[in-house]
Amino acid sequence: MKTEIIKVNVICPEPELIRSAAKIIQRGGLVGLPTETVYGLAADAFNENAVRRVFEVKGRPQNNPLPVQVFSTEQVRELTADVPEMAERLMVRFFPGPLTIVFRASSAVSEIITAGTGKVGIRMPDHAVALALLNACGTPMVAPSANPSGAPAPVSAQEVVSYFDGHIEAILDAGPSVIKIASTVVDVTESEVMILRQGVISCQEIMSAI
């Protein structure tokens, strides 16, 4: 397989290039995706074969759930069994942005993604290229970091190439990630919010928002 490197404008991504990448996703392919945090490995969240390939390419354990990226809060509601009030407040404050919120998953989410936990982590990236691809695809995408399991998360397209050249269909190259730190992850499935991973958004900011 030849991995196509697609250079795109980070501020105003070229529509024809985004459409090209979207067609790859829609066909079940994998695309290296720039975000404001780190580069992700994107696939159609509703295509189980594509989702399985993400696990295979990354060497990711099957019991490790995959995060999902969305374009809108409407997509959040499609993927979740319920949206608690504290989640609503967090989305108002931090979507789009470097926050992943773990919800109870709806029946629309494959157990492959949830790894049988019944939960799904969802983020709306604050990056023009990522949002353009999500919009063009018209579907949520699984998008864990684009690295082999256990390796450092990539913050440039070149690092994604070094990991997966010849193993994925394409990489959208929009230059280096700005934040270079993975998103903060919070779980809202219980009565109180639980911070699962500290990222650029602090515990104090989370608590202030809710």
The pLDDT tens digits along the chain (210 residues) read 999 999 999 999 999 999 999 999 999 999 999 999 999 999 999 999 999 999 999 999 999 999 999 999 999 999 999 999 999 999 999 999 999 999 999 999 999 999 999 999 999 999 999 999 999 999 999 999 999 999 999 999 999 999 999 999 999 999 999 999 999 999 999 999 999 999 999 999 999 999
* 47 neighbors 77 (Cβ within 8 angstroms): no
CA-to-CA separations, 126 to 97, 103, 161, in angstroms, rounded:
5, 20, 23
Task: Write down the pTM of the prediction.
Answer: 0.97
Domains and CATH numbers, the chain: 4-209 (3.90.870.10)
